[in-house]
């Protein structure tokens, strides 16, 4: 069974940093593109980053470019999101997800981890 | 960037009635369109991919169609467990991947 489990969320002050993790199981992690998305409370869904299976190609949404860095450790089937210069509008539940085997959509999502940016 | 819009924002329907949700793309996305169902407090779940292919676990009352810029998701007979927000996602021109704002389906 495919599972992705996020961790590392919590309360952080504006301007602060935080590192999220996502542990994957049930599939060949090193062969899959991995994605981060987020959803603010009562709001819609937003894609925020992409990382290729090898980690050499990364894309970011304009809203986080220059502040967030995605990385992965294929030996540990783990995905990371390092977030700097956090702002109040970064407050959201952050999900990791896999890219589909039958197209570039998101098929398996984790339950998410809540990041709250507040003083 | 492809901008996705959805209509209506909210749909109030009686149980057993037919429901049709619309999604529109600002530029053609071919058939690279997915639909997600998000129930309160839950993670989004893939309903449809490739504009018309039903994902595992969804019953035949869910169907979808369209291509280019106009897409629909239909629930032939609304059940109580179908109450949710439905989002469309384009995955033709990325990055970025872009979602519509969602349509909330509720029971009248």
In percent, the amount of chain A with pLDDT more than 90 equals 95
Q: What is the mean pLDDT of chain B?
A: 97
Query: Under a CB-based contact definition with an 8 Å cutoff, are residues B2 and B25 in contact?
Result: yes
Confidence of residue A19 (pLDDT cuts 50, 70, 90): very high
Confidence of residue A7 (pLDDT cuts 50, 70, 90): very high
**Omega before residue A69 within 30° of 0, cis:** no
* Residue numbers in A near B43 (CB within 8 A): 95, 109-112
Q: What sign results for the dihedral spanned by CA atoms B100, A108, B57, B67?
A: positive
Identify the pLDDT of residue A69: 98
Distance from CA of B97 to the nearest CA of A (A): 6
Query: Measured between alpha carbons, how far is A62 from A8 in angstroms, rounded to an integer?
Result: 23
pLDDT tens digits, one per residue of B3-60: 999 999 999 999 999 999 999 999 999 999 999 999 999 999 999 999 999 999 999 9
What is the arithmetic mean of pLDDT over B49-74?
Answer: 97
Identify the pLDDT of residue A101: 81
Q: Which residue from A107, A4, A109 is spatially nearest to B34, judged by alpha carbons?
A: A107
What is the arithmetic mean of pLDDT over A85-99?
Answer: 97
Query: Under a CB-based contact definition with an 8 Å cutoff, are residues A70 and A60 in contact?
Result: yes
Helix (H, G, I), strand (E, B) or coil at B92: coil
Query: Measured between alpha carbons, how far is A17 from B79 in angstroms, rounded to an integer?
Result: 44
Residue A102: pLDDT over 90? no
Residue A5: pLDDT over 90? yes
pLDDT tens digits, one per residue of B1-10: 999 999 999 9
Residue of B nearest to A44 (CA): B101
Confidence of residue B81 (pLDDT cuts 50, 70, 90): very high
Question: Chains A, B: CB contacts under 8 A, how many?
Answer: 60
Contact B91 A47 (CB under 8 A): no
């Amino acid at each position: 069974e495919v599972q992705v489990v996020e961790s590392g969320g919590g309360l952080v002050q504006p301007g602060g940093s935080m590192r999220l993790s996502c542990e994957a199981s049930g599939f060949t992690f090193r062969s899959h593109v991995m994605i981060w998305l987020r959803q603010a409370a009562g709001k819609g869904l937003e894609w925020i980053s992409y990382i290729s299976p090898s980690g050499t190609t990364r894309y970011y949404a304009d809203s986080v470019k220059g502040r967030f860095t995605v990385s992965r450790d294929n030996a540990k089937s783990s995905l990371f999101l390092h977030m700097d210069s956090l702002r109040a509008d970064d407050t959201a539940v952050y999900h990791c997800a896999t890219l589909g085997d039958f197209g570039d959509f998101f098929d398996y999502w984790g339950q998410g981890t809540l990041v709250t940016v507040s003083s | 960037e492809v901008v996705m819009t959805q209509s209506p924002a909210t749909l109030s329907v009686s149980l057993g009635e037919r429901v049709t949700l619309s999604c529109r793309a600002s530029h053609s996305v071919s058939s690279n369109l997915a639909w997600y169902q998000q129930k309160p407090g839950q993670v989004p779940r893939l309903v449809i991919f490739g504009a018309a292919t039903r994902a595992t676990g969804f019953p035949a009352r869910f169907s979808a169609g369209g291509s280019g810029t106009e897409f629909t998701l239909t629930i032939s007979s609304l059940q109580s467990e179908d109450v949710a927000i439905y989002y469309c996602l384009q995955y033709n021109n990325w990055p970025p991947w872009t979602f519509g704002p969602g349509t909330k389906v509720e029971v009248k």
